[in-house]
Chains A and B, each alone.
Chain A
Amino acid sequence: MSHTVDRFRDFMDEPEPAGRDAQEPRGEIGKYKIVREVGRGGMAIVYEALDPDLKRRVALKALKPGEASPTLISRLRREATLAARLHHPNIVAIHEVGLFQDDRGAETHFIAMDFVEGKTLAEIPRSVPLRERMRILQTVAQAVGYAHTQGVIHRDLKPQNVLVEQATGRVFLTDFGLAHAQEDHDLTRSGVVIGTPHYMAPEQVTGVRHKMGPWTDVWALGVMLYEALTGRKPFRGSDPMELYQRIFVDEPTPPRKLNPAVHPDLETVCLKALEKEKDRRYADAALLAAELQRYLSDEPILTRPVSWRLRIWRKVRRNSTIAALGALLAIVLVAAGIWGNVQSSGRNRAEEEASKTRKLAAAMERITQLLAELDRLMVEPDVSYEQIEPRATEILASVEAAMRHAPKQANLWTYKGKALRYLGQETLAEAVLDEAIRLDPRDGRPSLEKAMILLDRIQMLTIGHSPDDARERRREAAEEWMPLLLENLRRADPGLTEDEKLLVSAWSAWCNRHYEEAETQATERIRRGGAVESFYFVRALARTTAGKAVEADLDRAIERRPGLWQARFLRGCLGDDPQEKLADFSAVVRINPRCAQAYSNRAIQYAARRQFEDALADFERALRIDPRDIVARLNRGDLYRQRGRTDAAIAEYSAVIGFFPEEPDAFYRRAIVHHALQHPAEALADLTEALKLAPNHAKAHVERGSVYMDLQRSSEALEDFDAALRIDPTNPHAYNNRGMLYHRLGQDERALADLDAALRIEPNMAKALNNRGTVVETMGRYSEALNDFSAAIRIDSTYVSPYANRARILSSQGRHAEALGDLEIALRLQPALAGIYVTRGIVYSAMERLEEALADYDEALRLDPRLAEASFNRGLVYLKRRRHAEAMADFKRAVELRPDLEAAAAPLIEQCREPE
């Protein structure tokens, strides 16, 4: 909290100086000379005074004039009598109890006692260390324990009644104003609530006198202990009624959930002091003092902690046996004296309440049982959704039923959220968990559940897909969720087991990008053995985010808990073996059939195996669950593109652009289709948009460079390839394309260097091999070229271009038959490629099979009338056949299409003009 607010609060909290009342005594009371007022309560004022006889300072507690009813006077006298019985170094000693009458006849009843210069426990600063506070409380407990041995119960223990002497640090217990002796029955009537509300024990709230005893003081000490440990009171309410209800019904939040620094032993002691049933508390304060002493001497305590299961069970049982609220209301009504004819209807209500609570307890039991079953299922090797679904559905039904009785019970909402998570209904689960958090913000469990959902989501977004698909978009989306995740992890602390806390801590480290820390924490826990599958998983995630190997961790996590689909998913994403990847994604959807990303990842695997129907079906499933699954859409678009369904591909990419107009990958991919369809203008527009959105999109630069190349805009193409390589110096496509650009510009040395670079990065790049073959071929290195083309064919036997290229060289070496064989394959692969017909035409004409050559050139020109090579070569055949006019027309046409052919064509045209 800010400085200003702290100071403001301090200022407002300062004790008010007393306003004077005309009737209040001044000057002196009896023989005592008043020095100053040191405090005042509802009925009495305390002064610092001087005892002139003994020349010492005393504290005078005087009843306010006008407040002095006979009851109060008796109480004051009793305090004195009781305190006078007590001789203990830590109990303020009483000197005198008296009555003073001033000259006007006004009476003042007072007690004179030791004056302690110092502060009350309520006033000592928060900065006082915990151990020191424990020392103070231990002393108080000891003093109270002593009083108990003397048969005195304090009944109003609170920090305001504990004084710490400034000079010595000695601790004094004071104010036995409400104390009573155990044998004393006169003064307090049953049914009257006395004491300070926050420190009241349940039996004190009910005002049932005979139930009060030393254990009542033990409770108050428990409250003080709780306050010292956590800085807050165990029970709070906006009005006394609510507070009483909470004291009666609520289990206090274990201190360690509020302050993890608290020693477990102190928590145990504190919670035992705060047991609702007096028999479960320490029988008297001395026992509590002894336990605190053990803690202070670093010895183990004797009390055993109570498990949370037992606590819940007790709570359920208590509710069912006493119908807590009904009974409490009755008691308070008795106290208020308005108990009347409502009594009988109250009893009915109590019975109703009890029956409700019984039903609730039964539902709870069933829910817990089902959750345990589900948990067991998750360690079965072949766990599947078919087994999960009926149980999770039944939990939902039980929760709904229980909610009819207790709509505001937070843990019911948490169970509902859990069940929905099992059913893969994450969004719904989130909303339900939010409600649980709202109903009981002190319970960390729903926050943890919610955090897990967010973690799954973030994990899917960040590493859950092939790394290049819409990476930015996914990273941004993941980061959008991050603060919410962190908030939930932060909130998740109370109510968790040690392991869950460790897990939360490791996850938080991961979220904060402290991967090393997350890894170390997980490793430490793994070393201790036990149920550590989740820790293997965290470690895997931390390691993979830090770029380390993780398979072994994932294997172990999955082996221990086959139902941990998140681990399978991650393994599927990170693994290399296509078969295993497929198996992992299949396992994920077997357990969680609503995991869209698993379907789209499996679809990608299917597509790679050319199981296109399966791939399309999985994409469809993914998109039915999440129509905005960007990766599914992009990849389905790619699949359409590969299958030649260009319209569908463009539609798919356009859909992505509709959802995410800032997604560069969608523009990029749509550009590829446009490029392939020879719509260079559209391709350029999309690529320029992609690069505006992602200026560092190396692939888009490469693609745009290729489009420019096609448009003969070499300098722009070169700029793009250079840009791509600046961004990503390991992009083989950029080298390959730039190499071809240099080749076209006649710079073959540079071309060769680029192609070599591409092949160093990607030795199996068939395209680069084919291109290098082409370059070295122009350099006259034919055997090298042959090797390159053959290598390209070995790598990708469906790649047409190297067949044609190899055929050309083979043919020039006179190996026409082999050449024709290559070309035949090429034409089978791609029957409508003009260039191949040209090449075959060349082979045929070399073989002097001129008719066949002519037919091939005709076919080539039919497929592509603008193919200069076809015209040129057909011209050569016509020339051979002495069909000069046709030859001349073809040469002229070729030069028209490609002016660089002029030099080669000019003498041939001349020849055509020569008379025979």
Chain B
Amino acid sequence: MTREETSIGNSRRDFPSTHWSMILDLRDPAHPTYRRHLDELVQGYWKPVYFYMRSAWRHSIEDAKDLTQDFFSLFLQKTWVQKLDPRRGSFRAYLKTALDHFLTDCRRAQRAQKRHPAAALLHFEQAEKEFARIEPKDRDASPADMFEREWIRTVVRRTLEVLEQSLTKQGKRRHFEIFQAYSGLDDSACESAPSTGVEEVARRFGLKADHVKYCLKVVRQELRRLLRDEVRSYVDGEEEVAREMRLIMRGE
């Protein structure tokens, strides 16, 4: 993620990741932690909502922006969360349901053009650039699919984002560099450099191929752990977490 984007979610590293059930357990919108946790989730995961709005063809860019803003304003104001059952699974599912309700309400109200003050500063320009990069054939996906895809992408990106820090903290900065060179993946928005073969990476870093493979294995383990942490931040229950992991890793 670029700087301008992280500015809406930059506090996420300052406290341990939230568990979805914690939000639900708090249930008190006045509680500072409640608000912070919810804000954090929203700031981390607003983009799938925007993509959903964008891909519904009737919405112009401006409409999609307005609707997204409206949605989150309402979302953060309303006591929707209080109605939730913590055993009901994931923040993703919840957000999706809230989104469906929101759109139904909009329809019902014939889009009574009541604008709400913005919830948080959402950086649509970047999101719009990313949306424009979606392959035209993929843009035909239903808004719901679009939402899910963008969700997965957000989770992966957030995971990659913390990978560097986590490895650095463990004194494994080199591992991260090897990983980047090998996979071409980094935490930047969505462009990835071309990936390189193990041999080439080994040559570049002056290592044996086996050593590179071993480093990658370590990174893979770390990624799996971080991904699981990320998923736990919005999904409750190990069974649900496993299901969500499968969705992200395999799209199943």
Contact = CB atoms under 8 A, between A and B. Distances in A.
A5 B58 contact: no
Interface string B145-165: 000010011001100100000
B144 interface: yes
Contact of B242 (A232, A238, A662): A238
Contacts of B210: 17
B110 interface: yes
Chain A interface helix/strand/loop/mixed: helix
Contacts of A9: 249-251
B127 to A, nearest CB: 13
Interface in A478-498: 479-480, 482-483, 486-487, 490-491
B149 A483 contact: no
Nearest to A482: B58
Given A9-B249, A480-B107, A4 B143 contact: no
B36 interface: no
Contact of B110 (A5, A7, A8, A660): A660
Given A9-B250, A16-B220, A483 B57 contact: yes
Contact of A2 (B110, B149, B243): B149
B249 A12 contact: yes
Contacts of B144: 487
B10 interface: no
B88 interface: no
Interface stretch (B66-74, B78-86, B182-190): B182-190
Chain B interface helix/strand/loop/mixed: helix
Contacts of B107: 480
A210 interface: no
Contacts of A17: 210, 213-214, 216-217
B22 interface: no
Q: In which size bucket is the chain A interface?
A: 20 to 34
Contacts of B192: 3-4, 7
Contacts of A745: none
Contact of B220 (A11, A473, A660): A11
A12 B190 contact: no
A5 B107 CA distance: 33
A7 B184 contact: yes
A490 B57 CA distance: 15
A500 to B, nearest CB: 20
Contacts of A5: 149, 152-153, 156, 248
A667 to B, nearest CB: 15
A590 interface: no
B173 interface: no
B157 A483 contact: no
A489 to B, nearest CB: 10
B224 interface: yes
B24 interface: no
Given A1-B152, A1-B251, A238-B242, A479 B58 contact: yes
Contacts of B242: 238
Interface in B22-69: 56-58
Interface residues of B, number: 40
A1 B149 contact: yes
B182 to A, nearest CB: 8
A477 B58 CA distance: 11
A236 interface: yes
A825 B251 CA distance: 82
A8 B220 CA distance: 10
A74 to B, nearest CB: 34
A477 B210 CA distance: 62
B151 to A, nearest CB: 10
A342 B252 CA distance: 36
Nearest to A238: B243
A8 B160 contact: yes
Interface in B174-216: 183-185, 190-192, 195, 210, 213-214, 216
Interface string A782-821: 0000000000000000000000000000000000000000
B156 A480 contact: no
B15 to A, nearest CB: 26
Interface string B129-141: 0000010001000
Contacts of A487: 142-144
Nearest to B150: A2
B223 interface: yes
A244 to B, nearest CB: 18
A486 B138 CA distance: 15
B152 A7 contact: no
The CB with the most chain A CB atoms within 10 A, among B110, B138, B142, B183, is that of B110
6 interchain residue pairs of minimum CB distance: A17-B213, A487-B142, A483-B56, A11-B183, A2-B153, A8-B156
13 contacts: A2-B134, A2-B153, A4-B153, A5-B248, A8-B183, A11-B220, A12-B224, A16-B217, A17-B213, A479-B58, A482-B58, A483-B57, A661-B112
Given A9-B251, A483-B56, A483-B57, 12 more contacts: A1-B138, A2-B149, A4-B192, A16-B220, A17-B213, A17-B217, A19-B217, A238-B239, A477-B110, A480-B58, A490-B142, A662-B110
Interface of B: 56-58, 107, 110, 112, 134, 138, 142-144, 149, 152-153, 156-157, 160, 183-185, 190-192, 195, 210, 213-214, 216-217, 220, 223-224, 239, 242-243, 248-252
